[in-house]
Structure 1
Amino acid sequence: MDEHRYKPTTHAGGAWSTDEQHFSPLGGLVVHALDRHRAAAGDGGLVLSRISYDILGRLALDECEIEVETVRPGRTIELLEAVVRIAGRPVVRARAWFLARLDTSAVAGGPDDRLTPPEALAPWRMSGLWPGGYIASLDVRPVSPPRPGRTTAWVSTPLDLVAGTRVSPLASYLALVDTANGIAVRQPPTEWMFPNVDLTVHLHRPPRGDWTGLDTTVTFGPSGQGLTSTVLHDVDGPVGHAQQILTVRPLGT
């Protein structure tokens, strides 16, 4: 497509409805669009530290257009906004904070527990639980057997985010984060719906490697809301956190 338009393949097919897009690769595509916008403006060495996505409506498995604007320019702090449109209608709005890259290794600290490396783990056929081309495209390696509401797993894919285009490691990493809501289901998706209406990611360092580590807990409240909370990992340890708010309801309502 052109520099602002992208057409999904069947590998982006959704889990709740196979004629929709799964949000996960679209979330990575937004980061790719942010990267292109910053490169065109002259990348000042800033790093993505938070991105929040609001999912505004149905994500049809169709061509999308992504527009990016700089909301708050700066040499050390910058805020960008991206809007994804399908058939001319806004379906995702995202805001991303970029902060200055500085050497703070002398004071770096925090939890540093590492997950069992993915190459030491057996694959899990996640498509036995969820339909859709996106889920079928994944290589999922649970650290331990998945439990209702609690799973830790590595996720990767052999597919390019954008065919024939090199994307940043961060875009590839974030293209897998939304998978978290599907790895630790509390109730069978054949009986209950619990789609997320947002995704917010905070990072304390850039991730590296080809695997996205998801240490995920899912909570359902008593009044129709739920929360998927994830500690994000790469091969070197934790890199940040992700949160997804869920609308919980019986299937068919």
Structure 2
Amino acid sequence: MELVRGLPAGFGAGEESLAYYERSDATTFVPTIHAQGAWRTDEQHMAPVAGLMAHCLELHDPRDGMQLSRISFDILGMIPAQPTTVEVRTLRPGKSIELLEAVATIEGRPRVSARAWRLAEFASAEVAGHDLVPMPPPEDVPLWPASDMWGGGYIAGLEFRSVERRPGRSRTWLRSPTDIVADEPSTPTAHFLRLADTANGVAVRVSPHEWAFPNVDLTIHLHREPVPGWMGLDTHVTIGPKGHGLTSSVVHDEQGPVGTIEQMLTVRRSLD
């Protein structure tokens, strides 16, 4: 399979703002070359799309003491490199638990839907704890040239460091200087989640030049607010015998584990 190696199609310039999107009105955003996907030149990568939707969810009726704790995205098809409209509504309002919904529409069609639980914060430090394996710090991990495997503007803008690399397994740190929306600050959670979908490309079990294995969803659970900077992915990839797969990651920031990422895959030979 020929992955993205050519000129962009349908993207805004983006080089001056170093952002994935430029806002054109209250709900519409133009993707830049930094949002370009890895499978096709004319599509957006799901990672910046998820970051954009998280950004819009965080802007919707914000209240102190509430934290996005789970976001589940359903990817409804290819995501064209065209202006993207994101609309958010509250499905279940509440003082301590509420459910939000976001839909990204392109060319008149819903392309990605998301549901997010926003939970109130309570004092639980006295019982906080986990039994998850820590990641080695980024500075102790060698650089990994991911662009040798993956193309596209999104991947080109990332720095990767990776260990324990073998088919279906890796422990990888990544970071990016790119903002979600030009000239708009984002919350630490949205800024962190703009990288989450990258998990499906850091521990591939088969060559993306011979097999296609896009994810049809992306579900992130967070047990605390992440801090900006490096994202760590402790990732396993499983492929079943009839075209289905699963990418599972424990996700870290530089202070330790912050949650999990799950992605369901459809797996087929590239010519199928």
SS in 2 for 1:95: strand
Residues 173 and 228 from structure 1, CA distance in 2 versus in 1: closer, same or farther, beyond 3 angstroms? same
Q: Which residue of 2 aligns with 1:216?
A: 235
Q: Decide which of 121, 128, 134 is 2:141's aligned counterpart.
A: 121
* In 2: Cα distance, 1:186 partner to 1:122 partner: 20
Q: Deviations over 1:2-57 (max 9, x none)?
A: 12111111111111112100000110110100011123xxx142111111000001
Q: Which position in structure 2 is the counterpart of 1:173?
A: 192
Q: CA deviation at 1:120?
A: 2.8
Aligned to 1:28: 51
| Equivalence for 1:9 | 32
Aligned mates of 2:164, 2:96 — CA distance in 1? 43
Distance in 1 (alpha carbons) for counterparts of 2:90 and 2:28: 19
**Counterpart-to-counterpart distance in 1, 2:176 and 2:71:** 22
2-structure distance, mates of 1:213, 1:252: 33
Instruction: Report the 3-state secondary structure (helix = DSSP H, G, I; strand = E; otherwise coil) of the residue aligned with 1:127.
Output: helix
The one-letter amino acid paired with 1:57 is: G
CA-CA distance at 1:237 after TM superposition: 1.0
d(CA) in 1 for partners of 2:126, 2:242: 46
Q: Which residue of 1 aligns with 2:203?
A: 184
SS state of the match for residue 18, structure 1?
Answer: coil
Instruction: Answer whether contact 1:27 1:175 (CA < 8 A) is retained.
Output: yes
Contact 1:161–1:172, Cα closer than 8 Å, also in 2? yes
Q: Contact (CA 8 Å) 2:191, 2:228: kept in 1 or not?
A: no
The gaps in structure 2 that reach 5 residues or longer are: 1-23
The residue type equivalent to 2:187 in the other structure is S
What's the CA shift for 1:188? Answer: 0.5
1:145 deviation in Å? 4.7
AA aligned opposite 1:21: Q
SS at the partner of 2:258?
strand
**What does 1:16-165 align with in structure 2 at a 5 Å threshold?**
16-39=39-62, 43-142=63-162, 144-165=163-184
Distance apart, 1:167 and its partner CA: 0.7
Deviations 1:163-199 (A, max 9, x none): 1111111111111010010011111111000000000
Does 2:249 correspond to 1:230?
yes
1:248 aligns with 2:267: yes
SS at match of 1:242: strand
CA contact (8 A) 1:8 1:62 kept: yes
For residue 138 of structure 2, what is the amino acid of its counterpart? P
Q: Residue 111 and residue 3 in structure 1: after superposition, are their counterparts in 2 closer, same or farther (change >3 A)?
A: farther
- Offset of residue 146 of structure 1: 2.0
Q: CA RMSD in A?
A: 1.1
- Percent identity reads 53
What TM-score results when the alignment is normalised by the length of structure 1? 0.96
Gaps of 5+ in 1: none
Letter in 1 for 2:152: G
8 Å Cα contact 1:44-1:75 kept in structure 2 = no
Q: How many residues align?
A: 249
